[in-house]
Amino acid sequence: MADLNVKSVMHRCAFCGNIRVLVAKGLCRQCYKSSLKRDCSNCGKFRLMHARGLCSNCYHSLGVNRHVVCASCGFSLPHYARGMCRNCYNRKLIYALRKKHKKDVS
């Protein structure tokens, strides 16, 4: 097996000019992360952007985990799948798997 020559992996960063391992877009890790930081359009803080020009705090507070009334238990909890909360969805999934397993064994 050939030796991995570390110098062949190292290149000059297009932004800072230092010789480092490049992560993406010809930039080292520090320069790439700093290029992703901008002012959040919602709160105005200088942070890493998550999506839609928002920092992760503002993005998640806009309703990613919106509360809906669970179709099974009726409580207002964060939506997980098929109109149910996580507990009800997992309970129905486990019940279906056990039922299928019993049918296969019999």
Q: Mind listing the pLDDT tens digit for each residue in 51-76?
A: 778 888 888 777 655 778 888 898 88
Question: Which residues, other chains included, contact 42 with Cβ-Cβ below 8 Å and sequence gap of 6+?
Answer: 54, 55, 58
Structure pTM?
0.43
Which secondary-structure segment (H or E) carries 47? strand 46-51
Question: How many Cα neighbours within 13 Å face the side chain of 77?
Answer: 15
Residues 6-23: pLDDT tens digits? 555 788 888 888 888 888
Residue 1 binned pLDDT confidence (cut-offs 50, 70, 90): very low
Please state, in angstroms and rounded to a whole number, the distance separating the CA atoms of residues 57 and 62.
9
Are 55 and 47 in contact by the 8 Å Cβ rule? The answer is yes
Amino acid at 106: S
